[in-house]
Structure 1
Amino acid sequence: MMLILLLLWILISGELGVMKFRIGPNGVHFFDRNTGLNVLLDEFCPHQTVWSKSPRQVSVALTNLCDLHCAHCFAPKHKALLHADQVLTWLKELDTEGCLGIGFGGGEPTLHPDFVDICKRAAGETHLAVTFTTHGHRLTQPLVKNLKGSIHFARISVDGIGHTYEEQRGRQFSSLLRGIESIAKLSPFGINIVINERTIFELDAVAELAQQFGASELLLLPQQATNAVASMDELVGRELQNWVSNYRGKVRLAISEVGASGLPICDPLPNETGLQAYAHIDASGILRTSSYSTTGMDIEETGVMSALKRLRNTLEIKQGTQT
């Protein structure tokens, strides 16, 4: 088996550039961060002892700072900021243990004073795909120029069209459009939309906007409860299911795991779940199962993989107690 894998690795690397791979319950997963190409060799059934230890994807909230005040935002509001060297140390650990991609968020990640440096170092010192999510209003030409070549994918939040967007985000829609134009020049990108009672009826318009600007993905984010708003209700959920079922647009649809129930999804890695698939690091350096989770582990000086092991043990104990 190892000889076959080696030959495949040489073949793929020689033709498509260096691809990273991870081993998991669904087989051997090859990934090229520059093209976004994924290749899964599911004929193999690797033993659990050789599975990659890191989650496939990890998001990092670089800061809680944000210059918008959206009611649906679930990010913590206390001041917190991760240090660049600390972040890079964690990323190198994750990279070594099989992580494929890192997503920077917040808050608004572009407000971090070392944002450009962190992205450049992450791209240059690891083999991780580097992505980030932004509201788009700080994407100046100098920033985009400095980030060019260090970002493999970007996401911009578009919660409605025109007045709907302006009322939810408190910024001019025309400013957002300039942000989309800027992000389209930086890297392949996707559009995010929080689904609630207002945006649900503007999905057609947002999908058309995504296609117009050349977005490769439209990510649907069912609204989660905050101190200011409730979770997406059942009526909106049914409208979302109907819209997805009837969607015929050219832009690929995706949806967050939270809120995907009842929707037709395609999961190529059905056995790679939980912390095998995803983890989140908040701006205080706490490792969590997701940005919504209230359970977490302080990464501390022992490193991110140690925190991951402790979090897994805690969740297994909790699950065992419940059963």
Structure 2
Amino acid sequence: MKSRNGPNGVHLFDRISGLNLLLDELRPEETVWSTSPRQISVALTNVCDLHCAYCYAPKHKASLHTDQVLGWLKELDTEGCLGVGFGGGEPTLHPDFVDICKRVAGETQLAVTFTTHGHRLTPQLVERLKGSIHFARISVDGVGRTYEEQRGRQFSSLLKGMESIAALSPFGLNVVVNERTVAELDAMSELAQNVGASELLLLPQQATTAVASMDGVVGRALQVWVANYRGKVRLAVSEAGASGLPTCNPLPDERGLQAYAHIDASGTLRASSYSPAGAKIGDAGVLSALQRLRNTFEVQGETQS
């Protein structure tokens, strides 16, 4: 098991089983806390073959180089990071996607996960990824016609992708919650259970240049639905938009850049994929950029969460 020191104790993590243990009776001194974020997400590319209005990913073309990604993740791995989530854009469109996943799984102790729209998950791709992925997520914004109108792809094609991913690793479903999808949360919960998903991740819609944030009416409907949820699939919610929803945080003192950071497809480190502030990762490496970003927030008197 990999260990990580933090303000809440010694965190032990097994990437194969997903088991987490917190030894909270052990409180390491701050001088030995792990300096990496607990989790890092990496947008391998901005390229995507879907055009969802609520997508927050930058629309300029950019992709990361394989050796850059491996170098940064090895740095973070040695300083206590536990897992990486690859996204985009659509990460499976990166020409070295399989090689990156294999090398990270083989050359680091990081748990490797990725988020995909699911339409490129052929049996051939899944076979090449086997042994390199510890968890995967498929974005499912509505069912049937709602999905097809929001995503512009056939729902039946998505179901084929789910069949393929079930043979790869444990997986979860993601849903952007907006005025269309909030009425279909029961259907998506049932779908998640039927296809064998272990988690349903709720992503309250954030503002983009094309759409507004989830409004108060939808927010209240989401709160009611969560309060009355009795499904068997575990619920999770993104930190952005979690206000008003019941959450469980076993590491309450591990916040901001201690808990999470994001690397965009241009090689800039950010507090999250939504954050406008960032630090370009240069020759000094990702940990140097992380310290510069922390210094920026300290100067501004901000707490990033």
TM norm. shorter chain > 0.5: yes
2:250 aligns with 268
- Residue from 70, 86, 103 that aligns with 1:121: 103
Which digits, 9 at most, give the CA deviation of each residue in 1:71-126, with x for residues without a partner?
00000000001000110000000000000000000000000000000000000000
- Residue from 232, 236, 239 that aligns with 2:218: 236
Superposed CA RMSD: 0.9
- Residue from 141, 146, 162 that aligns with 2:123: 141
* Distance in 1 between residues matched to 2:114 and 2:170, nearest whole Å: 11
Which digits, 9 at most, give the CA deviation of each residue in 1:255-295, with x for residues without a partner?
00010011111110011000000000000000000000000
1:61 aligns with 43
Assess, with a 3 A threshold, how the Cα gap between structure 1 residues 158 and 48 changes in structure 2: closer, same or farther.
same
1:92 aligns with 74
SS where residue 249 of structure 1 aligns?
coil
* Distance in 1 between residues matched to 2:256 and 2:119, nearest whole Å: 33
2:196 aligns with 214
| Matched-pair identity in % | 78
- Pairing 1:181–2:156 present: no
Q: Which has the higher helix share?
A: 1
1:284 aligns with 266
For residues 28-67 of structure 1, the aligned pairs below 5 Å read 28-67=10-49
* Distance in 2 between residues matched to 1:263 and 1:141, nearest whole Å: 37
The structural deviation recorded for 1:141 is 1.1
For residues 241-252 of structure 1, the aligned pairs below 5 Å read 241-252=223-234
The structural deviation recorded for 1:320 is 6.6
The residue type equivalent to 1:74 in the other structure is Y
User: What are the ranges of 5 or more consecutive residues in structure 1 without an aligned counterpart?
Assistant: 1-18
For residues 195-214 of structure 1, the aligned pairs below 5 Å read 195-214=177-196
* Distance in 1 between residues matched to 2:240 and 2:41, nearest whole Å: 15
- Residue from 151, 157, 161 that aligns with 2:139: 157
- Residue from 56, 59, 72 that aligns with 1:74: 56
1:8 aligns with none
The residue type equivalent to 1:133 in the other structure is T
* Distance in 1 between residues matched to 2:185 and 2:36, nearest whole Å: 35
- Pairing 1:168–2:129 present: no
SS where residue 186 of structure 1 aligns?
coil
The structural deviation recorded for 1:223 is 0.2
Q: Which moved more, 1:39-48 or 1:153-162?
A: 39-48
User: What are the ranges of 5 or more consecutive residues in structure 2 without an aligned counterpart?
Assistant: none
1:14 aligns with none
Which digits, 9 at most, give the CA deviation of each residue in 1:122-152, with x for residues without a partner?
0000000000000000001110000000000
- Residue from 96, 99, 104 that aligns with 2:86: 104
The count of corresponding residues between Structure 1 and Structure 2 is 303
* Distance in 1 between residues matched to 2:225 and 2:137, nearest whole Å: 22
The residue type equivalent to 1:161 in the other structure is V
- Residue from 283, 294, 297 that aligns with 1:315: 297
1:11 aligns with none
- Pairing 1:26–2:23 present: no
What TM-score comes out, normalization by structure 1 length? 0.93
The structural deviation recorded for 1:46 is 1.3
Structure 1: 4+ residue segments shifted above 4 A:
none
For the pair shown, which has the larger CA radius of gyration, 1 or 2? Answer: 1
* Distance in 1 between residues matched to 2:196 and 2:124, nearest whole Å: 22
The residue type equivalent to 2:263 in the other structure is I
Which digits, 9 at most, give the CA deviation of each residue in 1:41-87, with x for residues without a partner?
00112111110000000000000000000000000000001000110
The residue type equivalent to 1:75 in the other structure is A
- Residue from 281, 284, 289 that aligns with 1:299: 281
The residue type equivalent to 2:63 in the other structure is L
